[in-house]
Structures are given as structure tokens and as C-alpha cells.
Structure 1
Amino acid sequence: MMHRFCVSLATLIGTLLCGVSLLVSSQTALPVFAADPVGFSDQVGESVTYKINIQIGIGKDAGKYPGTLTYHVKSATPELIQLNVTGNLEGTHSRSSSFFRSSNESSLPTLESVSCRGALLGITPLGEVEVAQRDEMMGLLLGTIGQLAIAPLPPPNAAPVNARAADKGADVAVSWNASDTTTIARISSPFGMIPSFSSRSGINSKKLSIATEKWKYVAHPAVRNRMKIDHQYELSAPESDPPMKMQGEGIAFFNMDDGFYEQLQINRVLFQIEDGVEIKVPISISLVRETQQERDAKIAAAKEAALKRTRPFTDAERKQWVQALAPGSSSVTAHRAMSELNFRNQREDPVLAQALLKRAEISRDSMKSHYYSAAARYDESLKQMAEDRRDYSRGVGTVKRTGNPVTTASRLVVGQILAKSRERFSGFEAVEVKEIHERNEVSVQSVGGHGRVERVNVSMLRYPPDTVEQPVDTRPAPRTRRVAPKPKVVVNEPEEMEEANSESEMDAIRTWTDKTGKFKIEASFLAVTDGKLRLKSADNKTIEVPLAALSEKDADLAERFQKESEAAANPFQVVAE
């Protein structure tokens, strides 16, 4: 049964335990069929859906993968039938798993989740695949999900099993054979492969060998326009490392009235020699078409769900959701309420929007963005704010908006949320200030603790929009100004008055500006040394700046202050008491 599928099935099992993968080669072309042969449906608009079940291994270690597969006839000519294919296979992937196994200690590898949407197949009426676009690999030996139910039909030159009965005009079973070769490559990753499997399948290692595949098909006389087709399968790869072989059989039932298979069952056993021991891995794949009753039930359920999404909320529902989202409820209860609200159609409901917004503000970082997005669905006026807060709570991806640039005069605090320029990409990402250094540098890390801590110059940073709440108080601390001493007023001594005023001005905190006018600092004068002005900032930090970098007015003022501070020493020195 199913020439193409058997080739790819053989290819998958080699990756199962042995760290070996097989790359599927093109199948052998079938002979040109006679007029009006048994063939796949050419009725444009017709569709069928299959339920998939794959099992690898037996007993407690068995891996089980359910899924669905739907074909829709897009167009048809006598030579080629075009099918749109959608389908999915539930498996295991990086973060979550719907793969079922009763024991977590099994040595069997697992499949990856696979989903194909809008794949296109072009097949001959006899089931030979001529075109395959956007179809998804389930694993090297299982082939592509879109071709699971595309199996060969009897060619015109299929030989009768009972030639004597056929000569007498009896309707007898017919048989035909097929064979092919496929390339086996040693790989490090043993089973489920993503579409980029070829780059990771060991082909670059040049450790290649050839496997031979053989099929024998038998198509039995139709009963009530339902044809049974069995097959025997054998794969031999004695030169692979390690050596392997596979044997198995299958059975399928083709509906001659509607032109699709009703049911397919494939059973295989992989044999592999490892350390002198033969290892057997059984594999079972079944596809069963949905009945008309099952299809009608799905359509009815979809209509009911659509009505539920659009109907108005009741007061009882709204009260229940608000209570579930309240700060005192559990995270599980709140998440369930949010999921229910996301299932409903978008609409204006400020009460629910505020409940979702408050829940976002007390949720952990990984959930904040989901609550913000949900809040925006129920209050259009919150859309921009919710989008900004969602972007700055994720710590991954690019933020859509930023505020003003961070300058050297900015006062940053640990825990503050900012936007950092993405060095290797365009745009900005949300980061949190971890440490503040000298020379206008700070250490930052992606929001939520993702990634490494980086030390960057403030010129790479921007503030977030005003809609984003900060987890810390970023208001500058009140400045402690140095109080200038009151000048001593002395009648008839104007020179002393002038000196006191000069000292008062020198000690006071004032704004110093560079020659470009872009940079400013609040500080008091200390001294001028070696052409550099030394200042004391409001937070008691000592700062130096070249006189040449100051504005002309401030440079003249600094020189005047320095001259006044270098007044002649008191000539009346005490030498003895």
C-alpha cells in the first residue's frame, strides 16, 4: 500500500533508535492507465477529513500521536488533480508537549508537532504525487503529513492473481510490484525533524549508504464499490551504520464512489543490529475518515461556538469574570477568565477592561502582556496604553514606540525600564537597569531577566512612552543646595563687601553649559587646574571638564572664580606667641 508513504516511513524509522536517517527519493512512475480506471476524485469542491493515530513502540513505552488531515479538491484535469491540504500532528516540541507516553523514562525518541496550512498537492488519478508545496515533514521516515492518505491504485497492467479465472471473465484480485532506492545518512539527532532537516541530517558527513525498498500490492475485487488493497513491504540497508532492515504490511479501503480512501492501516517493524543485539521497534499508523454524522456534529458545534462568541454578556457573567480577575483570586482562575474573554468577540466593556488591566499590573512578567492585550479588546481608549505596556513587559522582540533619548544629564535608578537600541537589528527592545557606572555607562538586561546583562553607554538608551508604568520611583531626589553665607555688611568698607559677594557666588550651585548648548549640569565651583574646571555636583560628585569645552560665558566665569580664589596670602603671619 502507498508507495510514496512507504518510502518515507522507511526513512523515518531509521532515525528512531539508531541515529540514522533516510532521505526519501522519488518514487517509481506507474504505467499509463487505461480509460476509466479506478482513480481519485476529480470533483472540484469536494473535501474529506481523516483522523490520524500514530504509535511508536508498544506497552508503557509507546509514543502516541493523534492528529487530523483534510483534503479539498481545488481543480482537476485528466492528468492532474490539485488538492489543498490542511492538517496537524500533535507531538513534542521545545516548551510544551501533547505527546502521550505512560512512562517518561522511555528510550524511544519522539516526533515533533507538525502543522500544514494551505499545502498544495498535485496527484495523478492513480495517486502518484507530481507536485508538493508547503507540505510539512513529520520526521524523515514518516515523510510529509499531507501525503499520508495518498496511496497507489492498481495500474492498467496489474497482473491477475488467478490468471485462469480472469481468462474466464471472473473479477479477480490483481497484483503489481514496485521498488526503489533511498539514501541513508548518519545523523546525530535521531527522530523528529523540522523542515530544515536536510541541513541537519548528516549529509555533510559524507557517511552515506543505499537502502533498497520493495513493495508488493494486491487489489481485491470491489464489494459495493469499496476496494480493498493490501501490501507487503521490505527495506534492506546492510551497508548502513549500524545495519538495519524493515518489514511490514498494510491494508487500505478505497471508496470508488467518492474517490478517496476510507481507511488506511500500516504496520512496520524496524530491525537494527547494535552491539551484536537485534533491536525491534514496532510502528503503527492509522487513518480513518470522518463519518457524515461526525462532520455534521463538527459543523453544528462550530455554529454554536460562533453564536456564543457574538452574544451579549449577562450581568452574572460579567460579575463572575470581574471576581475571577480580582487581586485576591488565584492565577489559574484569572487565566481561565481571560481565556474565556479572548474567546468572545471584541467589544466595548470598560468594566471588564479595567479588571483585566488591574490583573496585568499584579501578574508576573510572562503573563502581563496577555492581560494587557485582552484589556485593549474591551476598551478602545486603552489600546495604545495596553500595547505600550505589553511591549515593555515582554523583554523579547521590538517595542513599537519609545520616548525621549537618555542623556548624560539624566538621573537613572536601578530597576528602571528603558528601551535599548538593538545592535544587530533595527528598533529598540525593553530592558531593565541593573547597575549604574561612571562615564555615563549602565548595565541593563532584558525585562523579565531574559538574556545576559550588558554594559552600555546611555546614548543607546531611550525612555519608554509615558503610558508605561515604572516598577520603581524614577523621580529625582530633592537636590541639596549649598546655602551661601550671607555677606557681612560693613559700613565704609565696600571692598570687603565685594569680596564676600564673590565668595557667595563662587560657592553657590549654578547651571554650567558646554559650548554646544546641548549638555548642562547643576554644580558649584571648586577650582581650575591644568586647564580643567573642577565642579561639585548636587549629589556630591566631583566632575572635571576642559575649559575649552565650556561656553564662552562659563569659561570666563570659571577663570574669574579661580583668580579670586588665588588671592594674596595674609602678610601678617604669626611667628611666636
Structure 2
Amino acid sequence: MTHRLNGSLTLLVGMLLFGMATCDSLLTTSSASAAEPVRFSSKVGETVTYKINIQIGIGKDAGKYPGTLTYHVKSATPELIQLNVTGDLQGKHSRSHSFFRSSSDSPLPTLESVSCRGALLGITPSGKVEVVQRDEMIGLLLGTLGQLAIAPLPPADAAPVNQRAADNGADVAVTWDESDTTTIARVSSPFGMTPSFASHAGLNNKKLSIATEKWKYVAHPAVRNRMKIDHQYELSAPESDPPLKMQGEGIAFFNLDDGFYEQLQINRVIFQAEDGVEVKVPVSISLVRETEQERAAKIAAAKEATLKRTRPFTDAERKQWLQALAPGSSVAEAHRAMSELNSRNQRQDPELAQALLKRAEISDNNLKYFYYSAAARYDESIKQMAEDRRDYSRGIGTVKRTGGPVTTASRLVVGQILAKSRERFSGYEAVEVKEIHERNEVSVQSVGGNGRVERVNVSLLRYPPDTVQQPVNTRPVPRTRRAAPKPKVVVNEPEEMEEADSESEMDAIRTWTDKTGKFKIEASFLAIKDGKLRLKSADNKTIEVPLAALSEKDADLAERFQKESEAAANPFQVVAE
């Protein structure tokens, strides 16, 4: 029973929104009376915001969707009012969809798309929708988020509920009926697959049926310029599989002074028979306009948040953040500090940037990304390095930069981070070497352990940029030195040990820094030639840098390495033993 109930929830949302949003397109004119017609606002610049609450089902299994919806009057003529609409919902439960409306003038709506950003809505003063642009759908059957508060107003030919009282000049309630037919398509998926998965696999089957909808509206006389409009709703789809019907009612209050609804409430119940059992799913939608006090409080909070983002850091704040990011602090403390720094405006603070970098290096892959992002915002000189390390810290999405290609002669090791071509898409993604095979093939998996292990040819791989740290030693095989060969018989053992240590130091990969301190690279010493230092990066690339551009410490070290590599060979060679 629970499974059937959940499968019907999204249908009900769409049908409910349809019953609210599409009936306005069936009207042509509206008026409370011949003297005082009821109209939507045509005041250019006016803005109203609604708080939305949608609930599907009851109890702990109910799906709840709170959100907001804002209308701004962009322009107005006697025939058409243009509204800019923005809105969104935040769903508590995600539901797989199995129904949608099939028609020539309505795109496929889904619950996965629950926002309208920058939508343009054109309506007549009576509420008939004439233009809809860039409005993403929210209902599964029909209806859009942007039209939730555009409900119908009484047409000119609405009949008085009490004709005799109306003939005597009394202000009485008026009523009118509407009906329509629509095509419903149910998507059935075999083998228990979700509809979206089955659709991608080409295994879905759409079953079409006709549904009839009926509305009965009653608009009551205005009280203090506030008109109450209620309605009864019924939908019947006896030919659908399984048969469907929906019934409900709604109530709304329209403000004649400002030309917008103040409050709308719709309640529906969907009835669906499956295996001889009738399932009932209740749905409610409520929209309530923000008060002036609520709007003022929201504006004040936004201003305060802006000031907080832009104001300078205090000494106490910086001290607290640095302590929270230190290696000995807890994960929760560090994460809180990083989140606060990400919420502040970008600025130069190298000390905080370095603290974020160090925290990234000891964090797991799920958090590295966010620490690197924060570090890039606080030191322009390390921005590229931080962005590269961020991209390669998790195997999600496309990396922005790569290094040179991996060749058949490349030396790879298990655990090495590389970039793999996204064969069905453009660009590269970050992967980790899991196993090395013969015939130039390796097994790789997305960084962080996401996704399956793939066996690929090295031609699909590239090295990451030099700025990306490797979790394993990927230093190439030591090169052959140009110094004269050493004698087989060693006379001075301490000197030999000193020479070996020196050569080991030359071969080691270390950090080289330029004069400004802004640029750094991880590489090993090769030689000095024509005033330029040659280095070998971890991915076997040869790099040159003017000796004069190096920091004083690194320039002195390079000259020492060069002198040691050019030392004269030992003249006493052993020719026989």
C-alpha cells in the first residue's frame, strides 16, 4: 500500500497545480459588477511575494515543499500585464515521476525542476495567461510554479446566486462553471526500474488516456475591498491505467485595492485503484502574501548579511579561524571556520590562505575541494594552484587544466592522480591509478572512490598540472650523471658518503621559489646552462628558469649543485687488481 501511495504523489501535485493554473486561460473578461470590475494590478514597479507550502500525503511519509514566489509588475496596458516571476521550492522527498500532460502548448513538467528564475508572465487584467517565457515546470501533470497565484476572477457573464436579490439591486455572490479535457500519459517501466532509468534505456511505455476536468466557482461580494472566491473541482480519467479521479475544493481572497491575491488554499484528494484497492492521497497547497513587516525584516537581514560579508576581519576573528584550522583542531571546528570564510567577500589574506591549504592536505577528499576553494579566495598568488588541487581532489565533473599526455614510456605507479578523457563527453576527469597491466593499459577509478574501476589505454590519460600534489612518490628513475665515473676502489669512505648524500640531495624533488615568492614548482635539479636553471618535474617535463629570477636561497643552492656535478673526476683510476 505504501509503495502505491508514493507512486501517486507526484501525479497529484501536477493535477492540483493544473486545476489552479490552467482555468484562468479559459476566461476572457472579469468584473465584480458593471461599475467596478475586478482586475489584477497594472501598477508598474509593484512587487508582491508569497510564502508557499505544498504537502503531499499525510503523516511521516508526507512530502513537504516549502518555498517562495515573487511577482514584479514590469509593464502594463489595458490588454496585457507583464510580470517578472521568480520562485523556488525545497522538496523534503524526491519522487520518481510517472505521469505528465501531453499537449501542444505545455512542455513536460517534472518535480525535479522546481524553480522559475527570470520568468516572464503575460496576463490579461482578468487573469487569462497569454504569455509564458522561461518558466520551468513544477507539476507532473500540469501547472507551473510561476502561475500558482494567478487564479481566475469572475467573468462578466457570471450568474448571480440569488437572481431575485440581484434584480432588486443587491450585491450578491456570482457563480460560473468551466470544463476542459486533457490528455494524460502514464509512463510504465518494466522490471521495477525507475521511470528515468527505464527511459534512458529505451524500455519505457507511454499509455495515453483522456481526462475531463470541471470547476464550479463562486465569487462573494467584497467586504472592505476583499473578495472571497471559492471553487469545487473534479477530474475523471476512467480510461487511464489504472483509472484515476480527483476531487477537491479551494478558497482564495483577492485584494481589490492592490490587485493581487492575499491568500490561496487548495485541497485535493486523488483516488487511484490498483489491484482492486483504492488508494487515496491528500494534497494541500497554500500561498500567503508576505506582510510589510516580514518584507522589511527580510530586506534588513539581507543588508546585514551584505555588511557582514564586506566588513574587515577583526583580530579576534582571524585568531579564532587560524586556531580552528590548525592540524590539532577537530573536523567540525575546521569545517565551521572554512564555511564562515567562504561566506565572506574575497580579499588578500595569505596567512589564512596557507592555513586553509594545510587543512586541505590533511582532510579527506570530500572536504579537500571546499578548503582549496576557500584558499583560492584569500591569496591571488596561489589561486591557480589551489584551483588545480581543488579540481583534482574529487572525481566529479571536468577538470579545467591538464599537463602533458601519458605515453607508453611513462612510469606510472598505483595511487597516482591523472586526468582521463571523458570519452562520451568533452574534457577530462580526475582519476586514480588502481592497477597497472601489460599492453599499456591501467585500471583507474574516479578520485575519491566514486564510480566503477575502468581498464583503459594510457593514450586516454594525461598528467595533472605541476601544481597538483601526488599522494605517492611518482619521481622518475634517476638520470645518469655527467660526472666522471667513480673509482672502484674507495680510499676515503667519509668523502664517498658525503658525495653520495650530495647527489641524493640533487636528485630529490624539492620546492623551488622565485624572487617574489608568488611562484613555486616541485622539481629536481638537472643543470645550469647559459644562465638558466634546468629542472625536471614529477611528470618528466624539463623546465627552464633564469637563475636571476630565483630566490637568493634557491639560486645559491642551484650554483652549489652545479659545481658539485662539474667536479673533476678522480685521476687515480684502477686499471688492474
The reply to whether TM is greater than 0.5 is yes
For 2:471 and 2:203, how far apart are their aligned partners in 1?
51
Partner of 1:163: 163
Residues 412 and 474 of structure 1 are in contact (CA less than 8 Å); yes or no, is this contact kept in structure 2?
yes
Q: Distance in 2 between matches of 1:19 and 1:314?
A: 53
Measured in 2, the distance between the counterparts of 1:157 and 1:317 equals 67
Aligned to 2:102: none
Map of 2:64 onto structure 1: 64
The aligned residue for residue 261 of structure 1 is 261
1: CA distance, partners of 2:407 / 2:156: 81
Q: Give the whole-Å Cα distance in 1 for the aligned partners of 2:305 and 2:39.
A: 37
Q: Secondary structure at the match of 1:363?
A: coil
Establish whether residue 16 from structure 1 lines up as the match of residue 13 from structure 2.
Answer: no
Structure 1 position 251, deviation (Å): 0.7
SS in 2 for 1:339: helix
> CA offsets, 1:307-333, max 9 Å, x none?
111111111111111111122222222
> Secondary structure in 1 aligned to 2:165?
helix
Correspondences of 1:146-545 after superposition (within 5 Å)? 146-188=146-188, 205=205, 207-478=207-478
- Alignment correspondent of 1:117: 117
- Contact between 1:88 and 1:113, CA under 8 Å: does it hold in 2? no
Contact 2:18 2:139 in 1 (8 A): no
C-alpha separation in 1, matches of 2:268 and 2:173:
24
Distance 1:399 1:333, change over 3 A: same
SS of 2:451's equivalent in the other structure is strand
CA distance in 2, matches of 1:460, 1:165: 84
* Residue pair 1:372, 1:389 contacting (<8 A) in 2 also: yes
Equivalent position to 1:30, from 27, 52, 56:
27
SS at match of 1:450: coil
- 2:405/2:461 contact within 8 Å kept: yes
What's the offset of the Cα at 1:402? 2.1
Change (3 A) 1:14 1:218: farther
Displacement after TM superposition at 1:162 (Å): 1.2
1:476 positional shift: 3.3
2:143 and 2:85 map into 1 onto residues whose CA distance is 15
Deviation for aligned residue 1:144 = 1.4
Tell me which residue corresponds to 1:43.
Answer: 43
Contact 1:112–1:139 (8 Å) recurs in 2: no
Task: State TM-score, norm by structure 2.
Answer: 0.72
Partner of 1:539 in structure 2? none
Q: 1:85 to 1:378 in 2, by over 3 A?
A: same
CA positional deviation for 1:151: 0.2
Higher Cα radius of gyration: 1
1:372: how far off? 0.6
Unmatched 5+ stretches in structure 2: 96-109, 489-577
Q: What is the percentage of aligned positions where both structures have the same residue?
A: 83
Show the counterpart of 1:562.
Answer: none
1:144 is matched with 144
The answer to whether the 8 A contact 1:237-1:244 is kept is yes
Deviation at 1:486, TM superposition (A): 10
Cα distance 1:433–1:144, how it changes in 2: closer, same or farther (>3 A)? Answer: same
Give, as a single letter, the amino acid of the residue that structure 2 aligns with 1:159: A
Q: Using the alignment, how far apart are the partners of 1:212 and 1:13 within structure 2?
A: 24
| CA distance, structure 1, for counterparts of residue 308 and residue 73 of structure 2 | 31
Distance in 2 (alpha carbons) for counterparts of 1:345 and 1:118: 25
1:63 and 1:338 map into 2 onto residues whose CA distance is 33
Over the residues paired in the alignment, what is the CA RMSD in angstroms? 3.3
C-alpha deviation, 1:167, in angstroms = 1.3
Whether the 8 Å CA contact 1:90–1:112 is kept in 2: the answer is no
Structure-2 separation of matches of 1:267 and 1:477: 73
Gaps of 5+ in 1: 1-11, 96-109, 488-577
203-212 or 275-284: bigger deviation? 203-212
Q: Conserved in 2, the CA contact under 8 Å of 1:80 and 1:125?
A: yes
- Pairs aligned (count): 454
CA distance in 1, matches of 2:75, 2:11: 42
Deviations 1:98-148 (A, max 9, x none): xxxxxxxxxxxx965722211111111111112222222223246211111
Q: Which amino acid aligns with 1:461?
A: L
Q: 1:60, 1:416 → 2: CA distance?
A: 47
Q: Structure 1 residue 449: deviation in Å?
A: 2.0
Q: C-alpha distance in 1, partners of 2:53/2:307?
A: 32
Q: For the Cα contact (< 8 Å) 2:57–2:281, is it kept in 1?
A: yes
Residue deviations 1:172-219 (CA, integer Å, cap 9, x gap): 111111111122222248xxxx9x99x89x998452221111111111
CA shift at 1:14, angstroms?
A: 9.1
The residue aligned with 1:568 is none
Please tell me the residue identity of whatever aligns with 2:65: Y
Task: Note the alpha carbon deviations across 1:435-474, whole angstroms, 9 max, x for none.
Answer: 2233333222222222333333333332222111110111
Q: Is the 8 A contact 1:40 1:125 kept in 2?
A: yes
What SS does the aligned partner of 1:410 have? coil
Instruction: Please tell me whether the aligned partners of residues 419 and 430 of structure 1 are also in contact (alpha carbons under 8 angstroms).
Output: yes
**Cα–Cα, structure 1 residues 456 and 236, in superposed 2: closer, same or farther, change >3 Å?**
closer
AA of the residue aligned to 1:263 = Q
Q: What SS class does the counterpart of residue 51 from structure 1 fall into?
A: strand
SS at match of 2:324: helix
Please state how far the C-alpha of 1:232 moved relative to its aligned partner: 1.0
Kindly provide the amino acid, as one letter, of the partner of residue 30 in structure 1: L
